[in-house]
Amino acid sequence: MTRSEQLFAKAQQSIPGGVNSPVRAFKGVGGDPLFVSKADGAYLYDADDKAYIDYVGSWGPMILGHNNPIIREAVHKAVDNGLSYGAPTENEIVMAELVKKLVPSMEKVRMVNSGTEATMTAIRLARGYTKKNKLLKFEGCYHGHADSLLVKAGSGMLTLGEPSSPGVPEDVAKHTLTATFNDLDSVKALFQEFGDDIACIIVEPVAGNMNCIPPVDGFLEGLRAICDEYQAVLIFDEVMTGFRVSLGGAQAHYNICPDLTTLGKVIGGGMPVGAFGGKAEIMACIAPEGPVYQAGTLSGNPIAMAAGIAALTELSTNQESIYQDITAKAEKLVTGFKAQADKAGVALTTNQVGGMFGFFFSTDEKITGYKQATQCNMEQFQKFYHLMLEEGVYLAPSAYEAGFTSTAHSDEDINNTIAAAGRAFAKL
Ligand code: PMP
C-alpha cells in the first residue's frame, strides 16, 4: 500500500469522501487520489516523495510555478505583521489598482475569498442592478457551488432550470436558464421568451470545466450584443481564464468588454481569494455604497493581498516573456500529444488558448460544445490518465478539466511529458 492509499483510507474516516473538494477524489478517473506533501516549480511530490510534472497548477493559479520565491517571500514578510485585521489596509488599494490596470473593464473591484463568492455576488449584483430575476448560464460551464448555479439543463436543449444537486430548491433553480455553449440561437430563443426578466448572462469565456473549449468566432460578440439589446448584464467568469489566457484575461484576448468580471485563485498567487468588479455604475449598487449586500470577515486578507500583489506585479512586469512562454509550452504540448497519438493510431483532438489546454479522445476534428465533450472515449482517457501518473505526469483527474502550463515547466519537462504520452498512447 502506498502512503497516499493509507492516507486516503484514513481521511475517509473524518472527511466526507476523504477530500475537501469532490474532484480531488479521483472519481473521474478511478483509483485513489495522490496525497501531496509539497510542490516546487513544475513539480508536485506525493506522500511517498515521488515527483510528478504538474499540469494542474492548483487548478490554474500557479502561472509562475509552485512555491515561486517572489510570492513566497512576500507572504513571509506579510506574516510578520499579523494574519488578519478585519479593517482596511493600504495593500487592498494597491491590489484593486493593479486589477483595474490589468483588466480595465473592472472600474471598481471588491475582494472576496473564493471564486464561488465572486460569482454568487456578481449575480446578486446583476439582479439588484437590473431588478430582474433570471440568470442565463451554459450547460457544462461551472461557476462555483452557489444554489442558483448548480443547475443543469433538463431534457431538451432549451429548458427552465432543474436543480442538479439535492438541497437546491426548485423555486431557486427555476430562475436559472441553461443555454448551449457556442450556440447563439439557444441564447436568443431564451431571451425571446424570458428577455424581460433576465438579469444577466454568466459565461466562462473559454470554457474550462468541460475540458478546454474556446468560444467560436462571434459567440462572445453575440452575447455582448444580446445583453445590450435586452439591458442584461454580461458577466465573464474569468476565475480560470483571468491572467491565464493573456494578462488581461479572455476579455483582452478576444477584445470583448463584459459589464462584470469574476476572478478567483489566480489573483492570490494560490492563496484562497477571489474578486468581482466591473462598470462603476453597477458596482455602486454594492454595500455600503449601495443596497445590494455583500460582506466578508477575511476579505482582503493581508497575506492573500501580499501574495496577489507579488504575483500580479511579476505577471505584468514580465508580461511579454511570461505569456509567450506559457503559450508556446501549451502549444508544444498539445502538438506533441497529437503527433504521438497519430503515431499510435489513437483518435485525439486538442484545444488550447494561451497557457490553457485540453485534449479529447475523439474522432471529431474540433470540439466546440458540451455534448461533443461528453461523448469522448472516457475509458481511453482513464487508462491514459493512470499510465501518465505511472510515468510521473500529473494531469487533472477528470476529462472535464483544462490543463495549465507555467513558466516553471522546462523544455525538458515538456519533451519528457510528450515522450511519456507517446508510450501511454501505444498501450491504449
Ligand atoms: N468559476 C470558475 C470558472 C471555476 O473554474 C471555479 C472553480 N474551479 C469557480 C468559479 C469556483 O471557484 P472556487 O472553487 O474558488 O469557489
Q: Which of 43, 142, 230, 385 is catalytic?
A: 142
Cα-to-centroid distance, 424 and ligand 1 (Å): 30
Tell me what pLDDT residue 175 has: 95
Cα separation, 305 vs 303, whole angstroms: 5
Torsion of CA 103, 241, 239, 232, to 10 degrees: 70
| Domain 69-317 CATH (choose: 3.30.413.10, 3.40.50.720, 3.40.630.30, 3.40.640.10) | 3.40.640.10
Torsion of CA 318, 321, 322, 324, to 10 degrees: 150
Tell me what pLDDT residue 162 has: 64
Cα separation, 395 vs 55, whole angstroms: 5
- ipTM of the modeled complex: 0.99
**Residues 368-410: pLDDT tens digits?**
999 999 999 999 999 999 999 999 999 999 999 999 999 999 9
- Identify the H or E element spanning 223: helix 219-230
Cα separation, 160 vs 270, whole angstroms: 36
Atom of ligand 1 nearest to the CA of 274: 15
Cα separation, 57 vs 407, whole angstroms: 11
Q: Which of 46, 183, 237, 413 is catalytic?
A: 237
Cα separation, 178 vs 135, whole angstroms: 9
User: With a 6 A CB cut-off, is 240 part of the ligand 1 pocket?
Assistant: yes
Cα separation, 83 vs 149, whole angstroms: 32
Tell me what pLDDT residue 152 has: 67
User: With a 6 A CB cut-off, is 209 part of the ligand 1 pocket?
Assistant: yes
Cα separation, 96 vs 107, whole angstroms: 9
pTM above 0.95, yes or no: yes
User: With a 6 A CB cut-off, is 264 part of the ligand 1 pocket?
Assistant: yes
Cα-to-centroid distance, 208 and ligand 1 (Å): 10
User: With a 6 A CB cut-off, is 382 part of the ligand 1 pocket?
Assistant: no
Q: What are phi and psi of 43, to 5 degrees?
A: -115, 140
Whether 156 has a pLDDT exceeding 50, the answer reads no
C-alpha distances in Å from residue 313, one per residue of 110, 263, 267, 310, 415: 18, 16, 10, 5, 30
Cα separation, 260 vs 126, whole angstroms: 9
User: With a 6 A CB cut-off, is 114 part of the ligand 1 pocket?
Assistant: yes
User: With a 6 A CB cut-off, is 270 part of the ligand 1 pocket?
Assistant: no
pLDDT confidence bin for 213, thresholds 50/70/90: very high
Q: Are 138 and 203 in contact (CB under 8 A)?
A: yes
Please tell me what DSSP assigns to residue 66.
Answer: B
Cα-to-centroid distance, 62 and ligand 1 (Å): 15
Judge whether 237 counts as a catalytic residue: yes
Please tell me what DSSP assigns to residue 268.
Answer: G
Please tell me what DSSP assigns to residue 75.
Answer: H
- Region 362-373: mean pLDDT is 93
Q: Which of 132, 134, 137, 265 is catalytic?
A: 265
In angstroms and rounded to an integer, the radius of gyration of the C-alpha atoms of the chain is 21
Q: Are 68 and 76 in contact (CB under 8 A)?
A: no
Whether 308 has a pLDDT exceeding 60, the answer reads yes
Atom of ligand 1 nearest to the CA of 209: 5
Whether 174 has a pLDDT exceeding 80, the answer reads yes
- Identify the H or E element spanning 137: strand 134-138
Q: Are 405 and 322 in contact (CB under 8 A)?
A: no
Whether 411 has a pLDDT exceeding 60, the answer reads yes
Atom of ligand 1 nearest to the CA of 141: 3
pLDDT confidence bin for 161, thresholds 50/70/90: low
Tell me what pLDDT residue 157 has: 33
Cα-to-centroid distance, 340 and ligand 1 (Å): 32
Cα-to-centroid distance, 235 and ligand 1 (Å): 14
Mean pLDDT, the chain, rounded, equals 95
- Region 195-216: mean pLDDT is 97
pLDDT confidence bin for 165, thresholds 50/70/90: confident
User: With a 6 A CB cut-off, is 362 part of the ligand 1 pocket?
Assistant: no
pLDDT confidence bin for 160, thresholds 50/70/90: low
- All three cell numbers of 41, joined, read 516549480
- Region 259-282: mean pLDDT is 97
User: With a 6 A CB cut-off, is 208 part of the ligand 1 pocket?
Assistant: yes
Cα separation, 108 vs 100, whole angstroms: 7
Cα-to-centroid distance, 152 and ligand 1 (Å): 16
User: With a 6 A CB cut-off, is 121 part of the ligand 1 pocket?
Assistant: no
Percentage of residues in the chain having pLDDT higher than 70: 97
Cα separation, 374 vs 183, whole angstroms: 17
The residue whose CA has the least distance to atom 7 of ligand 1 is 144
Cα-to-centroid distance, 134 and ligand 1 (Å): 21
- All three cell numbers of 232, joined, read 442584461
The residue whose CA has the least distance to atom 10 of ligand 1 is 143
User: With a 6 A CB cut-off, is 261 part of the ligand 1 pocket?
Assistant: no
Count Cα atoms within 13 angstroms, Cβ side, for 190: 31
Domain definitions of the chain by residue range: 3-67+320-426, 69-317
User: With a 6 A CB cut-off, is 263 part of the ligand 1 pocket?
Assistant: no
- Region 46-62: mean pLDDT is 97
Tell me what pLDDT residue 164 has: 75
| Domain 3-67+320-426 CATH (choose: 3.40.50.300, 3.90.1150.10, 3.40.1010.10, 3.20.20.10) | 3.90.1150.10
- Region 78-87: mean pLDDT is 97
Cα-to-centroid distance, 241 and ligand 1 (Å): 11
Name every residue whose Cβ is closer than 8 Å to that of residue 188 and which is 6 or more positions away in sequence: 226
- Sign of the dihedral through C-alpha 193, 129, 272, 9: negative
DSSP 183-212: -HHHHHHHHHHHGGGEEEEEE-SSB-SSS-
Whether 36 has a pLDDT exceeding 90, the answer reads yes
Tell me what pLDDT residue 153 has: 35
